[in-house]
Amino acid sequence: MEKGIVYLIPCPIGENSPVDVLPKHTINIIQSLDYFIVENEKTSRNFLRGAEHPKAIRELEFETLNKHTDETKIIEYIQPLSEGKSIGVISEAGCPGVADPGAQVVALAHRKGFQVIPLIGPSSILMALMSSGFSGQSFSFVGYLPKDKKDLKIRIKELESLSKKFKQTQIFIETPFRNNQMLENLKTYCSPTTQISIAANINQKNEIIKTLPISKLRTGQLNIHKIPTVFSIMA
C-alpha cells in the first residue's frame, strides 16, 4: 500500500477568497483531501467552503493542532498516512509551519518517513520582506519579541547590532493589540538612523506598507492597532 502524503496548505491572508489567490494546482489538491489537521476548525471549514471543496464540509475529518497539543496526539493524527490516506495541514493564515504549530506535524512526518509537500500560497513574512526594500540576501525571522520592557529593549538593541554586523534584515511580529505600543518602543529604543518597515493588512484593500528611518516615524499618525502586522528593521 502506498503511504499518504502530508500537504502543507497556505491560507489567504485576510478576507481574500482562496480561489482568487491560490493557484489552481493548490486548489485541486485541497479539493481531493478528506482529512485535515488544522489550527482552528471553524476558520478551516470556512476556508474549505471558499476553496469550493466538492464534499459537504460535515463529511470531512478535522483534528485540531495548537501550541498545547501533546505529541502523542499528533502521532494519532498522522496515523492515516500509514493507511494510504493523505493529510492537509491548514494554518490560520499564511503558510503552515512558519510561526505556526504545523511544524510539529512536519517534523514527526519526516521522522516516520512520510513525504511532505508544501503547496504554493501567500506568506506575510516573505511579502513584507519583498516590499521593505531591505536585504533579501540575508534576513532573519525572529518571531515575537519579549513583553517585558527591559528584555524588549535588550532584544531590540541586539537585533539592531546583528543587522548592522551582518547587513541582515531582522523581521518580527507582535500580538495585534500591542502593535501601536511596539511602534512606540521601536521609536524609543532604536537608533534614529535605523530603517523600519511596517507591513500591515498585507494583500488587503486597506493595506499599509511603509519604510522609513526611525527618526521620521510619527507613531501618532500611524494606527495599526489590532491589524495583523509584520515589522522589519535594517540598521
pLDDT in tens, 38-51: 999 999 999 999 99
Helix axes 149-166, 179-189, angle to 10 degrees: 60
Q: What tens digit of pLDDT does each residue of 67-124 get?
A: 888 888 999 999 999 999 999 999 887 889 888 888 999 999 999 999 999 999 989 9
**For residue 53, what pLDDT band results from cuts at 50, 70 and 90?**
very high
CA 92 from chain center: how many Å?
Answer: 8
Q: What tens digit of pLDDT does each residue of 134-149 get?
A: 999 999 999 999 999 9
d(CA 92, CA 58): 19
Q: What's residue 108's pLDDT?
A: 94
> Is residue 178 within 8 Å of residue 172, measured between CB atoms?
no
Q: Is the pLDDT of residue 66 over 90?
A: no
Q: DSSP secondary-structure letter at 94?
A: B
Q: What is the pTM of this model?
A: 0.89
Q: Is the pLDDT of residue 1 over 80?
A: no
Which domains are present in the chain?
A: 5-118 (3.40.1010.10), 124-234 (3.30.950.10)
Q: Is the pLDDT of residue 26 over 80?
A: yes
Question: What dihedral angle (degrees, nearest 10) is formed by the CA atoms of 71, 73, 75, 78?
Answer: -130
Q: What tens digit of pLDDT does each residue of 180-193 get?
A: 999 999 999 999 99
